[in-house]
Structure 1
Amino acid sequence: MIRSFCLAAASAAFMLAVGQPAAAADDELIKSQAGPWLLAPESGAKGCRLTFETTPATGGYAISGADACATALPTYAKAAAWNFSDDGTLTLFDATQKVVARFQEEEGSPWESEDGDPTWLLPALGDVDHVPTVATLAGTWQIQQPDGKLICNITLSSDTDADGTPKMSSGGDCPADVRDLKLSLWVMEGFGLVMMGIDGSSLSFDMRPDGGFQKSEEEEGEPMVLIRK
């Protein structure tokens, strides 16, 4: 699954680097996070993009393009620098070094703002300007081979179980390796979709710029894509 350019590993690398005299590990970490990012409300509302640079700036490293956030997320339009804290928190600062926002990350999940309405920080994906939600993804989908050959149909529901997790069902045409997973629930993790079975099994997909999904590279077996029917 897309995990913010392996941010869990990057955060671990940072924690190992803290307090060490050599700066090489820190430099590599900063370089690995440089590039375009999407700031987007968890609600699915439109977000905005900014770019993490490696150029030193007051408070850390420069941010460019934040003025594009003036309409969708005006608070972030002031972001001028980014940096990691000793505890692994990712912090955005304005030009006076005032904190604009702090983000924390749990393994397997996107960076999420600490305060206010939940906002995610994700590596930009094509022209996508929002994160998918249960409401926008609910419906019938086809699991296909990369060449378009149908494997089977599944239905993602907006109905939830007692814990609030959305339900799903797979069609009777699904092959044994899919049926055996006993998939019954699904969740979104940023641009990643995880289908979960009643016995702890799972099947993960990563969102593509066109709105479809492809099976995560972390998954074993043959490649699959997920296309809305």
Structure 2
Amino acid sequence: MTCFVLRLAAPAAALLFCGMAHGQDVDPDILKAQAGTYLVAPEDGGAGCRMTLETDMAIGGHSLSGQDACTKPLPALAEAAAWNFDGNGGVILIDATRKLLARFVENEGSPPKTQDGTPLLLIAAPDGIDRLPSVSSLAGIWTMQRPDGERLCGVTLDGHADADGNAPLSLSGDCAANVARLKLAVWHIEGFGLTLMGGDGSSLGFDMRADGNFDKSKEEGGKPLSLVRQ
């Protein structure tokens, strides 16, 4: 089995990946499942760039494309020449000399992200979106409505989150009964997912659209519902 050690500036930051450098031992179904177009963007809401992880072989792993789009927002990643698995469930980006540029660590229930400096996320994103939503960017007044425009409730998202990333919200006094009884009080953003939560464990999950508004997550079931910014 072929092994390579990639050494970074930090003394303990040596990355060993064996048998992966030429794609050995990688289940084709796993490879295909990981391949696709992703947004790489700072967790703090800064501009990111899209690149496509491909299944063809490349030096040190598998080919990728679109990295030129990173030249301005994330110049270090514009040098990416290949991607690979790190053997621990994560994904790495390397340059033509096999220098490690970024390592995205798997987070259960959350998008993979880097662990140094300002974290970068590797995440599927709606077309036309070049950055992650943040608490400050989403703060303001929204309307909860049906696809036909029927208004169910006004929702004001506060822009001050606690240490867990939860921020207060308030509902208008004219909410429909099925919304009011949820007693929604806080909200949380995770990647492109927005969750409104009540103190008794009730919640509503939404996924961001390309226009910046949100549709109720399919996993929620029930009738379609949207959050539209006012």
For the residues of structure 2 that align with 1:105 and 1:204, how far apart are their CA atoms? Answer: 22
In the alignment, what sits opposite 2:208?
A: 207
Matches of 1:71 and 1:151 in 2, distance apart? 42
The aligned residue for residue 92 of structure 1 is 93
Matching of residues 53-202 of structure 1 within 5 Å = 53-161=54-162, 165-202=166-203
What is the CA deviation profile of residues 34-92 of structure 1, one whole-angstrom value per residue up to 9, with x for unaligned ones? 22211111121111111111111122211111122111101111111112222101111
| Number of residue-to-residue matches in the alignment | 208
Q: Secondary structure at the match of 1:32?
A: helix
What percentage of aligned pairs have identical amino acids?
52
Alignment CA distance shift 1:107-1:180 (3 Å): farther
Gaps spanning 5+ residues in structure 2: where?
Answer: 1-24
Cα offset for 1:161? 4.9
After TM superposition, the score normalised by the length of structure 1 is 0.84
Question: Is the deviation greater in 182-191 or in 161-170?
Answer: 161-170
Distance 2:39 2:162 in 1: 31
Contact kept? 1:161, 1:167, Cα under 8 Å? no
In structure 2, relative to structure 1, the CA distance for the partners of 1:160 and 1:65 (3 Å cut) is: closer
C-alpha RMSD over aligned residues? 2.0
How far has the Cα of 1:165 moved from its partner?
2.2
Give the SS at the match of 2:27: helix
8 Å contact from structure 2 (residues 38, 122) kept in 1:
yes
Contact 2:152 2:179 in 1 (8 A): no
Kindly state the Cα deviation for residue 164 of structure 1 after the two structures are TM-superposed. Answer: 5.4
Question: Normalising by structure 2, what TM-score?
Answer: 0.84
Higher fraction of helix: 1
